[in-house]
Structure 1
Amino acid sequence: MPDGPADRTISSVDENSRSVVDFYTNTYQEDGRLTNRPQARLEWTRTMELLRSLLPDAPARVLDVGGGTGVYARALTASGYQVRLVDLTPAHVALAAGGEPPIDAVVGDARALPEAADAYEATLLLGPLYHLLRAEDRVAALCEAVRVTRPGGRVVAAAISRFAGPIDFAATGRLTEAALAEARTLLDRGANGPGSALPFIPAYFHRVEELVAEFHAAGLTEVEVHGVEGPAWPAADAAVDGPLAEAVFAGALDIARVYSTEPALLAASAHLLAVARA
């Protein structure tokens, strides 16, 4: 791996990067996303549980790539980790740096990290992979994670399941004919597009085997994939306004823990979390 970041100014010329920055600056408020619905609460709870089990002990140095407004970085900092956050969106970086506790945060592109080689004991990519529509860009981001992580350190990356959007719409009574048609298209294409019936910025939705292949292409070994929310998250969202809401949520969380690495159920989660050795 090279000693310095990739020699390119991707974010200044890349239309996809500009659309991501615009979306999170002007359209969508990322701060607070992980508390506003059962699926998000499951995502937060299970991701933190998994990170605590997968990361080296504090005070290890952790790079949080695509760390948004610092929600995970702040929790890890509070647990004693030395965390630096890199995010493409300047507004996210400002919120991360200005929060409590403040996070060491800089603007940067996951494919050309402003970091030295072997500088971290673990690197997280909990957001970038689904915003990179081309496989070569996703592998480039993973290669950068390998470069900045010391040999033997952990690289942890999140992806959105290929089936998350349509399942979400079905569970919450929003599955229109247009959304159902897009569900069929997504099976092969993997990415939504402008004017999507699934209202989200154009993104890539992974199959489990694709995520593993991209990790291997970046030279990562000992790849393990977890289903973050587990197969019962749609039930938790569907039950949110009913009398059994908390019981269903608790059951979904328990099932997510039991079936975390069950191959037959991984893709039923809304998010996948892959971990490997650099």
Structure 2
Amino acid sequence: MPGHRRGAHDGDMLAAEIMDYYRAGGERSRLATGAGLLEYLRTWDVLTRALPPAPADVLDVGGATGVYAGPLTEAGYRVRVVDPVPEHVADAGARPGVTATLGDARALPAVDHSADAVLLLGPLYHLPVRAERLAAWREAARVLRPGGVAVGALISRYSGLLDGLMRGFIHDPSFRRIVDETLASGEHRNLDGGSKWFTTAYFHHPDEVSGEVTEAGLHLERLVSTESPLWMARDSLNDLLADPADRERILDTLRRIEDEPSLLGASSHLLAIARRS
């Protein structure tokens, strides 16, 4: 209904192991170097083309420490971060011009039709249950104005396997069991406890994204690879991205192949760009 505003689900907004993983503070530096920097640069490049012009109202759901909210605010957008981790909310809210509040992607603390764009750059891959991912997409649709855009980040189904092969994790029987389950169902869980290999997550197959977005009432405009297979050049990425001219050439090249279907599964992350009618 018009003007409706939802609150967070009763109980914890994140599973305990996911909350512990993020409260350790890794999001403060994850996107600064190597594959993380490539992820950031490519995500920012896609956002500059997908978002409506500033000024516009952007709801950054799962926006963590405000790594995208800060630059978006500097670019003239009105940005509000919603995140379930208190430390993230504090960091994001300390950025000039950014407002931040605790909240759940499945029940956003925002009124209907109040945003021109919704970013889901973290929540979707921490919702292993399909119905809960649909709830997050539906909430994005609810708060978007007609014609608004939602951009969701997804982890590729094969990223764990490829990462494990590159880094030698595949020799560990525990890791192999995780990979076997992820390849079969998409669910990534540390079966032996702890957070040695990330935390509870869902890894999408590229072919299933359109169905989720459509069922939630949005139209999938594009599904693009974030890093492409270049993320596997892990040890040399800092050198490749150090020179501004080289960096721009790399970004231009990746832009040209970002929606090539045969390369989607080889990217570490995917970005789904969806529209509300």
Q: Above 0.5 in TM-score?
A: yes
> Could you give the per-residue CA deviations for residues 49-93 of structure 1, whole angstroms, max 9, x where no partner exists?
100001000011111000000000001011111111100111100
Which residue pairs with 2:223 in the alignment? 225
Query: What's the TM-score once normalised by structure 2's chain length?
Result: 0.89
Take 2:149 and 2:240, find their aligned partners in 1: how far apart are those partners?
39
Residues 162 and 186 in structure 1, CA contact (< 8 A), matched pair in contact too: yes
- The Cα shift of 1:169 comes to 2.4
- The Cα shift of 1:21 comes to 2.5
- The Cα shift of 1:198 comes to 6.3
What amino acid is the match of 2:271? L
Query: For structure 2, which runs of at least 5 residues remain unmatched after alignment?
Result: none
Residues 97 and 103 in structure 1, CA contact (< 8 A), matched pair in contact too: yes
Identity of aligned residues (%): 41
Structure 2 residue 45 is matched with structure 1 residue 35: no
Question: Which residue, 177, 181, 184 being the options, matches 1:185?
Answer: 181
- The Cα shift of 1:181 comes to 4.3
Secondary structure of residue in 2 paired with 1:275: strand
Which residue pairs with 1:203 in the alignment? 201
Question: Which residue, 122, 129, 142 being the options, matches 2:124?
Answer: 129
Question: Which residue, 93, 96, 114 being the options, matches 2:92?
Answer: 96
Which residue pairs with 1:4 in the alignment? 4
Residues 230 and 268 in structure 1, CA contact (< 8 A), matched pair in contact too: yes
Secondary structure of residue in 2 paired with 1:92: helix
Alpha-carbon spacing, 1:245–1:24, altered in 2? closer, same or farther (3 Å)? closer
Question: Which residue, 137, 143, 165 being the options, matches 1:142?
Answer: 137
Secondary structure of residue in 2 paired with 1:166: helix
The root-mean-square deviation of aligned C-alpha atoms, in Å, is 2.4
Structure 2 residue 55 is matched with structure 1 residue 55: no
Query: What's the TM-score once normalised by structure 1's chain length?
Result: 0.88
Which residue pairs with 1:273 in the alignment? 271
Which residue pairs with 2:11 in the alignment? 13
- The Cα shift of 1:136 comes to 0.3
Query: For structure 1, which runs of at least 5 residues remain unmatched after alignment?
Result: none
Aligned residues: 270
- The Cα shift of 1:177 comes to 4.1
